Chains A and B, each alone.
Chain A
Amino acid sequence: MIKAVMVMNTQGKPRLAKFYEYLPVEKQQELIRRVFAVLCGRAENVSNFIEAESIFGPDSRLVYKHFATLYFVFVFDSSENELAVLDLIQVFVETLDKCFKNVCELDIVFNYSKEMTLLENIFWIHTILDEIIFGGQVLETSSAEVMKAVEEISKLEAASNAITLIPKSASGWRSR
């Protein structure tokens, strides 16, 4: 079971936070803060795992990945495989990258402006994440399938809505 997904930047500002069990916002904030406190003390080229039981309680594991200005953090329990979750982060990031490619042509996988693009499309990122993880369970591991579903959803949304809520930036990839 995945317990939480967080994306935060290297200053500790949360860019995405999703907890699969209800937690009061104050608690969420505290957890993110504590995770960041551990993350920012870690060197490059060390393992992607953190002992998370002191933060998230017994039977908690944490995997993170660091891309330029962003940390992608997945918290889960013993019914997930560590390396598989690491792959899952890759799938998630790749999907984001494909979805928002035309916004930023820079070589670096993520940079500040890309981080901002993500932030402005936060609602879509939730949609993407929801296709991958459903109520804490991993339901989709193929980036292509996720893209397909998200595309359908955005079409449906556009059709249902005269005033589009899709940000211009995100609507670009839809027409491709």
Chain B
Amino acid sequence: MSGPSLMDSLFQRTLEDLIKGLRQQLIGEQAFISKALEEIRKEIKSTDLSTKSTALLKLSYLSSLHFHDMSFATFHALEVLSSPRFSHKKIAYHGISLSFHDSTPVLLLITNHLRKDLTSTNEFEVSLSLQCLSRIANVDLARDLTPEVFILLSSNKLYVRKKAIAVVLRVFEKYPDSVRVCFKRLVENLENSDPQILSAVVGVFCELACKDARSYLPLAPEFYKILVNSKNNWILIKVLKIFTKLASLEPRLAKRVVEPICDHMRRTGAKSLLFECVQTVVTSLSEYDSAVRLAVGKIREFLVDEDPNLKYLGLRALSIVAPKHLWAVSENKEVVIKSLSDADPNIKIGSLRLVMAMVSEHSVAEISRVLVNYALKSDPEFCNEILGSILSTCSRNLYEIIVDFDWYVSLLGEMSKIPHCQKGEEIENQLIDIGMRVKDVRPELVHVSRDLLIDPALLGNTFLHRVLSAAAWASGEYVEFSRNPLELMEALLQPRTCLLPPHIRAIYIQSAFKVLVFCLSTYLMQWGSTASSASPDNLRSGVSASVSYESFDNLSVENGADATVTRGQTYTSASITNESILNLLNLVELALGPLFESPDVEVQERARNVLGFIDLTKLELLNSSVQGEKDLERRGVECSKTIELMHDAFSKELGPVSLSAQGKVYLPDGLMLVENLVGMEMICADIEPPSSNLFSFGIPYEEKDGVSFSNLQIEADSEESNEATSLLAEHRKRHGLYYLPLGKSEIISNDYPPANDPTLQGNINDNADDLVKLTEESLVPKRKSNHAKPRPVVVKLDEVDAKPVGVKKAEYKDDSLSGAVRDFLYGMKDMVPTSSQSNLPGKASSKRKGKEKQHTDPHVETKGNLVDYGNPSSRRRKHRSHGKERKHRSAREKNAEEREDTGQKEKEKSSYCHGRHKSRQRAEEPLNVSAQTTVIPDFLL
């Protein structure tokens, strides 16, 4: 051991050597460091403290800048700490503050070292140990060293005193009971005239007030004095931070401080102080108009300043003021919008937020247009930031600010065509959501969807696939509004759709199916009407009957829809001829044929559905078109039955459904459910649950019924040879109980209202349980011309759409500390506690020493508010284990206090403190139990 040690000390590399060597090394940095670490491991075991400390210093360097773990050296650091030499101590403290943490095993061994240095006569040694304590203090260290810190709080060396004040923050945080000892002295330091001391103590209070401001309200007069008298900007900033917290709690206080703060705002030349004043005013004093005006004026100065920092901060201040004083943003509109093209991303995002804050019902179109233009010019990241903001703002509260949905839908289409757009998913959701909620917008939705689908270039952009899936779905679901279904079909089946992922392709195919059925049924109807030479009205009523069903009860809606349908119909009927139908069928067969064997089940199944349907109808259609007129009617009846059936199935309207809808379904009287659905297992073994539909959020039970019904029908009709179908049918027969009812009459007989039943939409107010609710938006008459048409109805769901407001953070996070502080402050100030603080001992407590045995510690009681009981109570148990030590200590503490305290009143108070302290110790056993049940005893008062 002595051999290498001697060598080490003679030829040891210093830190400087190490750093230089590291720079000049030729063997590679990692190799060099491992070699150095090897040396260090050897050297640090040396008995020579110089060698050891140098090794520790090198290790600290490697740990802090090359990120090598130094936990193996914790004990060696303690050894170096025991050296009498200052330079060694300094190295040791440096290493310790880098590497020690709460679960370092040797942490408790440091207590005596720290205590020794805290009581040293050398202020720099004291400073080192305070510095270390501020980094590593845990519960035990904080508790055991509280007396030493207490003494240092009134040290006559300012250099030491300011650090002692700063360390109090950590001590309080770790060991709240130390408040009883140190708090008074901390407060006394607020009266100190030295700016260094004042700065330190105000800093501590600022940190404390950030955690729980209410406890420090009684100190407001002291802070006020500082606010008025201090000339030091650092101190003023901290005091302003404190008042920001306090003023929002106590309106009377706000009234007092608003004038001094405005004074500072007018007078100061320091931007930092000015900004802090502005921030205080806009955050906590926003009721004081003159102050806000002054602050907004200063914000404006910031905004037009050359310095990007001031501009950034100005924008931030503006965003704080925006919710309450929107005029402040509007006044600075030009600057804000101009900042959208700033070089600094922070400023751009800041101004974007502000622009979004200005959006209202009237300005949304204009602002969105400006923003989309900016998005086109911006880099991808900011472009998506803009698009994201538009999407979230416009969809807020069920598209609250959107009046013209046609415009909005076309905006969505436009946005998805922006090259950098990566918001496909959000746009998809909104397109479908709007389609389902807003009936009036469907024609435009189909139009926009068509534009998207028909462009083959868009299929190559993977970010757009989600949008295309929505477009495909919408154009299939609302195909009756399409001006040219044949064109739509071509778009849906174009060869480039093979670029789509399978699940979206499946949606394309399903939509193609819907379009196909629509075309055939239109064709049949047209053909039927000419064949039977029906009245010209027939077409119209036929279509509207098949399209709108009973769902278009609302008169105005019906009229609008009918008109569109008729228009579309005229166009369609002109273009759908025998030939075009044949082409259509051939196109579908050609496009979907290869998918018959698609590896993706979803694609395969849907392709087979369509092809099966065509098999079923094609022959008859072909025949009927070839054969003479006589035959037409007879044959037509057969195949049109199938087509009509499909058409009916698809024309049932889908609507948004509340997630909790199921819960609102009454249990029918005669229904007996097997307990815990035991029987379901048997069934589930036979059949897989329906795969989660992409748009599953929107399928109400009756629609589901419709779909399953129709699926069954298709398969039963078209592919009877198919084994699965027959199995399913058989299954249905056996377990009919678990299937939803087949016939429509049964639906009506159910007790619960169908989700989208339009008959209920009228008298919604009578039925509180109604699933569907309409927004009765009162129409604003003085709208601009483009807003002239009334806002369409947006279907709302009562529960799901009322999004829960973000849960507020627990107010008293640091409850044990604030409890202790309040306890102390309210006791000290002799204030009569208000009802909310009734658990705090008032002035009477000092006279009631006799009763103090029953005295429950408020800090234990307030724990009731705490969310998790685990922490404090476990800490409490820890305290108990140190019970003996503590009694001993508190005696020492008392001595210390008596030495220091001179004033009689003070003495009385400190003895009160200790009285309480002891009584708490005595009462601790039973308390531990009562702590769990949160009783607030009134007998204290």
Binding site for B on A (CB under 8 A): 1, 14-18, 20, 22, 24-26, 28-29, 43, 45-51, 77-79, 81-84, 86-87, 116, 119-120, 122-123, 126-127, 130, 134-141, 145, 149, 152-153, 156-157, 159-161, 163, 165, 167
Contact = CB atoms under 8 A, between A and B. Distances in A.
Interface stretch (B164-172, B185-193, B361-369, B659-667): B164-172
B169 A135 contact: yes
A47 B16 contact: no
Nearest to A170: B16
Contacts of B19: 119-120, 122
B309 A134 contact: no
25 contacts: A25-B70, A29-B67, A43-B344, A45-B308, A47-B346, A48-B309, A50-B346, A79-B206, A79-B210, A79-B241, A81-B272, A82-B275, A83-B272, A83-B313, A122-B15, A134-B130, A137-B200, A137-B204, A139-B162, A139-B196, A140-B196, A157-B86, A160-B85, A160-B86, A163-B50
A48 B311 CA distance: 11
B64 to A, nearest CB: 5
Nearest to A63: B309
Given A45-B343, A47-B346, A139-B200, A25 B20 contact: no
B237 A84 contact: yes
Given A81-B276, A84-B234, A153-B124, A47 B347 contact: yes
A94 B687 CA distance: 76
A83 B163 contact: no
A156 B131 contact: no
Interface in B213-253: 233-234, 237-238, 241
Contact of A120 (B20, B68, B237): B20
A42 B15 CA distance: 34
Nearest to B18: A120
Contacts of B199: 138-139, 141
Contacts of A47: 308-309, 311-312, 344, 346-347
Nearest to B167: A135
B848 interface: no
Contacts of A167: 16
Given A79-B207, A120-B20, A137-B203, A87 B272 contact: yes
A24 B343 CA distance: 36
Given A79-B207, A84-B233, A123 B94 contact: yes
A24 B87 CA distance: 26
A127 B163 CA distance: 14
A172 to B, nearest CB: 14
Contacts of B130: 134
Interface string B285-298: 00000000000000
Given A50-B346, A81-B276, A135 B166 contact: yes
A102 to B, nearest CB: 17
Given A135-B134, A157-B87, 8 more contacts: A14-B65, A46-B343, A46-B345, A47-B347, A49-B309, A123-B91, A135-B166, A135-B167
Nearest to A20: B135
B429 interface: no
Given A157-B86, A161-B85, A83 B124 contact: no
Interface string B247-284: 00000000000000000000000011001100000000
Contacts of A86: 272, 309
A72 B311 CA distance: 21
B423 interface: no
Given A138-B234, A156-B122, A25 B276 contact: no
Interface in B322-379: 343-347, 349
B87 A165 contact: yes
Contacts of B311: 47
B67 A123 contact: no
Given A25-B63, A139-B196, A134 B131 contact: yes
A134 B70 CA distance: 23
B637 to A, nearest CB: 67
Interface string B48-67: 00100010010001011101
A16 B130 CA distance: 22
Nearest to B315: A47
Main secondary structure of the interface of A (DSSP, over half): mixed
Nearest to B203: A137
Tell which of A15, A43, A81, A141 has the most Cβ of chain B within 10 Å. A81
B16 A25 contact: no
Nearest to A17: B64
B90 interface: yes
Main secondary structure of the interface of B (DSSP, over half): helix
B541 interface: no
Contacts of B234: 84, 138, 141
B159 interface: yes
Closest 3 CB pairs between A and B? A135-B134, A83-B272, A46-B344
Contacts of B272: 81-84, 86-87
A121 to B, nearest CB: 9
Contact of A165 (B14, B309, B347): B14
Interface string B624-663: 0000000000000000000000000000000000000000
Nearest to A13: B65
A137 B166 contact: yes
B312 A49 contact: yes
B207 A83 contact: no
Contacts of B135: 20, 22, 135
B23 interface: yes
Contacts of B65: 14-17, 122
B150 interface: no
B170 A49 contact: no
Tell which of A16, A46, A47, A136 has the most Cβ of chain B within 10 Å. A47
A76 to B, nearest CB: 12
Contacts of A139: 162-163, 166, 196, 199-200, 203
Interface string B113-153: 00000000010100000110011100000000000000000
A118 B170 CA distance: 31
A163 B204 CA distance: 39
A112 B430 CA distance: 55
Contacts of B68: 25
B50 to A, nearest CB: 7
B918 interface: no
A22 B94 contact: no
Contacts of A79: 206-207, 210, 238, 241
Contacts of A157: 86-87, 90
B777 interface: no
Contacts of A84: 233-234, 237, 272, 276
A81 B240 CA distance: 10
A86 B623 CA distance: 86
A43 B343 contact: yes
Contacts of B313: 49, 82-83
Nearest to A15: B65
Nearest to B349: A51
B100 A22 contact: yes
Contact of B16 (A87, A120, A126, A137): A120
Nearest to B311: A47
A25 B203 contact: no
B600 interface: no
Contacts of B16: 120, 167
A167 B19 CA distance: 12
Nearest to B206: A79
Nearest to A88: B234
B275 A81 contact: yes
Contacts of B101: 22
B309 A116 contact: no
Contact of A161 (B14, B23, B87): B87
A51 B343 CA distance: 16
A81 B131 CA distance: 23
A25 B101 CA distance: 12
B210 A78 contact: yes
B621 to A, nearest CB: 61
B414 interface: no
